[in-house]
Amino acid sequence: MAKTALITGVTGQDGAYLSQLLLEKGYKVFGVVRRSSHYGVHSHRLDWLGIADDVVFLDGDMTDLSGLCRIVRDVQPDEVYNLAAQSFVKTSWEQPFLTGNVTGLGAVVVLEALRLEAPQARFYQASSSEMFGLIQEKVQTETTPFYPRSPYAAAKLYAHWMTINYRESFDLFTCSGLLFNHESPLRGREFVTRKVTDAVARIKLGKLDTLELGNLDAKRDWGHAKDYVRAMWLMLQQDEPDDFVIATGRTTSVKQMVDIAFEHVGLKASDHVAINPDFYRPAEVDVLLGDAGKAKAKLGWEPEISLEDMICEMVDADIARHS
Ligand code: NDP
Ligand code: GDP
């Protein structure tokens, strides 16, 4: 019989690619969507992948326990992927309460719904490399101590420990994926990679002249969302629940990433990039670099798409969108 998956955050970048993967594997996919007055617009990423009609949407919000309980009771999922979050770090300083509520407590809403209504279901929590923040080890693994540097990271850390606590307290099958930054043509436009590829596309087409950015020296371990959703699924197929770092093992500065994007269209970044202090953060995560050795050994997972190929794919997709 076909397996059933429930995805919170189904309208986001990872929700879209994960839905695609699960549908390809024959799953029945249910997605939690928060109600909006803008009918229909929530599915633009799923539309882009051509799968919006294949996902069953259910109205629900991460701050509403009774609604999530009802959904879990009705769907009786085999697997639950908790991807919903206020996911943009910079916004988390402007909306720390909302971020704590949705990104932190929201995970407990889903865990409680499972404990009460479907304790046999397997649970994936979307944890983040931002939890390493002010890094305590040069290369971060599952045993590296955490040091969150934003309300977002602190909220994710709470959700991470609650995921482990529900495993240890109630014997639920819960996994936490410590995923490093991952991008794609479906990444939100406020994140630096997509902001850059979208601007490069418009500059190339003569629709924009200058791209304003913040800290060009920050370094991230960037992978492709398509590779990373595969790791989420693999975690829930194991005999025992566990936590895994998912990363490429390569770190690149924002400046180098910008150069890759401009060079792809035959332009020079120095002719178009300006620094705007508004895009600096109150506290920065200077560098992230992950070691996914455990995922390789236990899940057989390795990234397949390089940073260069991903940035070029994103620029090309943005040129197509703006043309
Ligand atoms: P997105 O920001 O693209 O998607 C977030 C999703 O959460 C959207 O579907 C959004 O719905 C939904 N959401 C937000 N608030 C609520 C709410 N109150 N109730 C219900 N749904 C809500 O994130 P990504 O796809 O990039 O990331 C997926 C998860 O992985 C997130 O939890 C993120 O924090 C985490 N993560 C991401 C990384 C990355 O590099 N992408 C790295 C590590 C972790 P709507 O469409 O209505 O806004
Ligand atoms: P994050 O790692 O989840 O915060 O992902 P982002 O893509 O938002 O930011 C990655 C890094 O890029 C951070 O260190 C930012 O400070 C840096 N950065 C530099 N300029 C910008 C910008 O204009 N927008 C964003 N979002 N980040 C920027």
Count of all residues that appear for the chain in the document: 323
Whether residues 213 and 237 share a domain: the answer is: no
Closest CA to 199 of 315, 309, 44: 315
The answer as to whether 300 is a domain residue is no
Predicted pLDDT of residue 36: 85
For atom 14 of ligand 1, which residue has the closest CA?
85
Residues 149 and 124 in one domain: yes
CATH number at residue 202: 3.90.25.10
- Whether residues 58 and 204 fall in one domain: no
Do residues 311 and 170 share a domain?
A: no
Residue 236, pLDDT score:
98
Residues in contact with ligand 1 (CB, 6 Å cut-off): 8-9, 11-15, 32, 34, 42, 61-63, 83-87, 102, 126, 128, 179, 181-182, 188
Q: What integer pLDDT is reported at residue 42 of this predicted model?
A: 76
How far apart, in whole angstroms, are the C-alpha atoms of residue 264 and residue 123? 40
Question: What count of Cα atoms within 13 Å lies in the side-chain half-sphere of residue 87?
Answer: 25
d(CA 114, CA 15) in angstroms, rounded, equals: 19
The phi, psi pair for 274, rounded to 5°, reads: -125, 150
- Within 6 A (CB) of ligand 2 lie 89, 130, 181, 190-192, 195, 213-215, 218, 220, 254, 279, 281, 284-285
Residues 57 and 42 in one domain: yes
For residues 205 and 322, the answer to whether their CB atoms sit within 8 Å is yes
Rounded to the nearest angstrom, the distance between the alpha carbon of 12 and the centre of ligand 1 is 5
The pTM of this model reads 0.98
Give the pLDDT of residue 38: 78
Q: Are residues 43 and 127 in the same domain?
A: yes
Counts for the chain of helices (H) and strands (E), in that order: 12, 13
How is residue 55 written in tokens?
A: 């996902």
Q: Is the same domain home to 205 and 310?
A: yes
Q: Name the residue range of residue 118's domain.
A: 4-182+222-246
| 291 in a structural domain | no
Q: Token pair of 18, please?
A: 């994960």
Same domain, 236 and 212: no
Predicted local distance difference test score (pLDDT) of residue 41:
66
DSSP symbol at 181: P
CATH number (domain holding residue 235): 3.40.50.720
Exposure pattern of 114-144 as b/e (b: 16+ CB <10 Å)?
Answer: bbebbeebbbbbbbbbbbbbebeeebbbbeb
Q: Is residue 136 part of a domain?
A: yes
Residue 303 tokens read as 């990234």
Q: Identify whether the C-beta of residue 320 lies closer than 8 Å to the C-beta of residue 265.
A: no
* Shared domain check, 160 and 29: yes
Residue nearest to ligand 2 atom 23, measured at CA: 213
Residue 95 belongs to some domain of the structure: yes
The pLDDT profile of the chain, 323 residues, written as one tens digit per residue, is 899 999 999 999 999 999 999 999 999 999 999 988 877 667 999 999 999 999 999 999 999 999 999 999 999 999 999 999 999 999 999 999 999 999 999 999 999 999 999 999 999 999 999 999 999 999 999 999 999 999 999 999 999 999 999 999 999 999 999 999 999 999 999 999 999 999 999 999 999 999 999 999 999 999 999 999 999 999 999 999 999 999 999 999 999 999 999 999 999 999 999 999 999 999 999 999 999 999 999 999 999 999 999 999 999 999 999 99
The CA R_g of the chain, rounded to the nearest whole Å, is 19
Distance 281 CA to ligand 2 centre (A): 9
When divided into structural domains, the chain yields a total of 2
Ligand nearest to the CA of 43: 1
Residues 200 and 58 in one domain: no
Q: 193 near 222, Cβ under 8 Å? A: yes
Residue with CA at minimum distance from ligand 2 atom 11: 218
Ligand 1 pocket test: pick from 10, 14, 152 the residue with the most ligand atoms within 8 Å of its Cβ: 14
Alpha helices in the chain, H assignment, sequence order: 13-24, 44-48, 65-75, 89-94, 96-99, 106-117, 151-170, 192-204, 225-235, 254-264, 293-299, 307-322
Question: Is residue 171 domain-resident?
Answer: yes
216 belongs to a structural domain? yes
Give the DSSP H/E element, type plus range, for residue 213: strand 211-213
**Mutational test site, ligand 1, from 35, 87, 179, 187, max ligand atoms within 8 Å of CB:** 87
Decide if 74 is inside a domain: yes
**Residues contacting 43, CB < 8 A, separation 6+:** 11, 52, 55, 57
Task: Give burial (CB, 10 Å; 0-12/13-18/19+) of 94.
Answer: exposed
Do residue 93 and residue 233 come from a single domain? yes
Q: 292 in a domain, yes or no?
A: no
273 and 152 belong to one structural domain: no
Check if the beta carbon of residue 31 is closer than 8 Å to that of residue 10.
Answer: yes
Residue 160: closest CA among 226, 244, 92: 244
pLDDT of residue 37: 83
